Structure 1
Amino acid sequence: MSGRKKAEAPASPLSFIGTGVSYIALCLAALAALALVVIPMVTGSQTYSVLTSSMAPKYAPGTFLVVKPVPFQELTVGDIITYQIESGSPAVITHRITSVGADQTGETVFTTKGDNNSVEDELPVREVQIKGKLFYAVPFVGFIANGLGNSDRGAMAQWGAVALMGYGVVALVRGALAKKRNDGETPEDNRSAEDDPFVFPDLGPVEGEADPDGFGDPILTDCDGCDHSGRRGELGKHRHRHEARKHATV
């Protein structure tokens, strides 16, 4: 006998909101881990934070910069590069190339300028000073890096990646457990034709097939005052009585 599916309690609006916020947070965490940790590590890029307004408004203070190493010969006018103020010095500047020239020895050098500055940088930039070309930038994230300092930035990225990946794993496990609980409350074996249009009612054996209950043809004789709309077990007893009556009158 097919049972009925248990009635499910309607989900509250707060439940929908909580689920939506969780999924949005998970997506943001995944994007943040990808942009701030995974891509820089895979591409061998270095990360920096904008400290001044020389490249504002597009690259305002607090912007997180991902700078990718590229061959010197591929750099052209209009590229944004990060370079050391002095060769071997940790202090760097991120400005745009405005022209390409050569020094007295014939070495190729770049003239640079901040987008928000009115004059070009005083000293030309040599190949040995260049750290790389701007790959992409993420606004506001640099404020966190600035607060931690340059010496702690690598550790911040590693711990940030661990935290984001841990959050993702916890969210996936919670979702799987919730789905398992829901599946356990409404098993498919309990579905009936009224609950699911793809579950068909039991109409007895098909014509020409053997009846597993041994009752033969579903209708043996016509009779008056009989209700054939009962369940299959009652119909089986009814047919059995008619069959016995038929043998008794032979």
Structure 2
Amino acid sequence: MSHGRRRAEKPTTVLSVVGTGLSYLALCLAAMAALILVVVPMITGSQTYSVLTSSMAPKYAPGTFLVVKPVPFEELGVGDIITYQIESGSSAVITHRITAVGSEQSGETVFTTKGDNNSVEDELPVREIQVKGKLFYAVPFVGFIANGLGNSDRGAVAQWGAVALLGYGVITLIRGTLAKKRKDDDDRGGQNPDSGDDDSILPGFGAAEDGSWNSPDHADPILTDCDGCDHDHPNGKSDTRDRRDGRKHVTV
């Protein structure tokens, strides 16, 4: 009769722990990057821009990635950072802070703007038609990558970048799940529930082919019976009693 043995568990190494931690960290970073740089701007209808000059430094230094969300013109006020077109129909924009709210002779509301790092206010007032939106949030350094892509390719690359980041996250998650499943299988591999092994049975004892129970030296088992009985054995064997210890010995 075979006996199942539990295989020794593989020791957990520092490298495996570090590798697992880095994998989950990369997954979190990829998901966060996709969320912040692509998903949120798409859901909110925001536009993305990159800071090219130092007019809003140091907080919004060159290379900062800006997410600008459209808001009603009347909700804007002093202190808000807005992105606006320099000229109507031009793709060139400026992102500056509103320093004053005024009105033209026609009654039209206009804004006075200024860069945080500039010493003077912008020369021309900003009208409603020029405003693209209000600064939603900014991510430092990411704008350098966007600058390299150019304005014409930024939208398509952003979408493909989101797909790549999310795909990487999904693959990392699946790999982690499969690795955990393999480890659990290895931990349970030494015990086969269908093998029929029972470690509670003493080694060397087992049932013979005719149904009898044999010991290692094939000796007849000692049966303990009630005292005072002198009947025949059901299998045709006679029973003799050892009067010293009150036990029967089965003989043929």
Question: TM-score, normalising length from structure 1?
Answer: 0.77
Residue 60 of structure 2 aligns to a residue in which SS?
coil
C-alpha distance 16-202 of structure 1, shift in aligned 2 (>3 A): closer
**Higher strand proportion (structure 1 or 2):** 2
Give the C-alpha shift of residue 80 in structure 1: 0.3
Higher helix share: 1
Matched, 1:56 2:80: no
Q: How far apart in 1 are the matches of 2:3 and 2:61?
A: 67
Partner of 1:83: 84
State the partner residue of 1:24.
25
Which segment is superposed worse, 19-28 or 41-50? Answer: 19-28
Question: Unaligned stretches of 5+ in structure 2?
Answer: 193-197, 207-212, 227-232, 234-238, 242-247
- The structural deviation recorded for 1:9 is 2.1
CA contact (8 A) 2:7 2:189 kept: no
* SS of match in other structure, 1:23: helix
- One-letter amino acid matched to 2:145: I
The match for 2:245 is none
Equivalent residue letter for 2:134:
K
Cα displacement (A) at 1:190: 2.4
Q: Cα gap change, 1:11/1:92 in structure 2, threshold over 3 Å: closer, same or farther?
A: same
**Aligned-CA RMSD value:** 2.8
Q: Structure 1 pair 104/187, CA: closer, same or farther in 2 (3 Å)?
A: same
CA separation of 1:2/1:95 partners in 2, compared to 1, >3 Å: closer, same or farther? farther
Q: Is the 8 A contact 1:81 1:132 kept in 2?
A: yes
For 2:46, the aligned partner's letter is S
Q: Secondary structure at the match of 1:186?
A: helix
Match of 1:13 in 2: 14
Corresponding residue SS for 2:10: coil
Which residue of structure 2 aligns with residue 42 of structure 1?
A: 43
Please report how far the alpha carbon of residue 242 of structure 1 lies from its aligned counterpart in structure 2 after TM superposition.
Answer: 5.0
1:4 positional shift: 4.5
Q: Displacement, 1:160?
A: 0.7
Q: Secondary structure at the match of 2:129?
A: helix
Shift of 1:188: 7.9
Q: Is 2:5–2:190's contact at 8 Å kept on the other side of the alignment? A: no
- Paired residues in the alignment total 215
Q: What one-letter code is carried by the residue in structure 1 that aligns with 2:143? A: G
Alignment of 1:163-242 (within 5 A): 163-187=164-188, 190=191, 241-242=221-222
Tell me, in whole angstroms, the C-alpha distance in 1 between the residues paired with 2:112 and 2:214: 101
1:79-129 CA deviation, whole Å, 9 max, x = no partner? 000000112211100000001010110100000000000000010000000
The share of aligned pairs that are identical, in percent, is: 72
**Is the Cα contact below 8 Å between 1:40 and 1:47 reproduced in 2?**
yes
- Point out 4+ residue stretches in structure 1 off by more than 6 angstroms: none
Q: CA deviation at 1:176?
A: 2.0
Q: Is the contact between residue 97 and residue 115 of structure 2 (CA under 8 Å) also seen in structure 1?
A: yes
- Equivalent-residue separation in structure 1 for 2:64 and 2:5 (angstroms): 59
Is 1:160 paired with 2:161? yes
Residues 2 and 190, structure 1, Cα contact 8 Å, conserved in 2:
no
The more displaced of 33-42 and 8-17 is 8-17
- Provide the rounded CA distance (Å) in 2 between the counterparts of 1:127 and 1:5: 76
* Contact kept in structure 1, 2:3 and 2:199, CA below 8 Å: no
What residue ranges of structure 1 are gaps of 5+ in the alignment? 192-200, 204-228
Partner residue in 1 for 2:142: 141
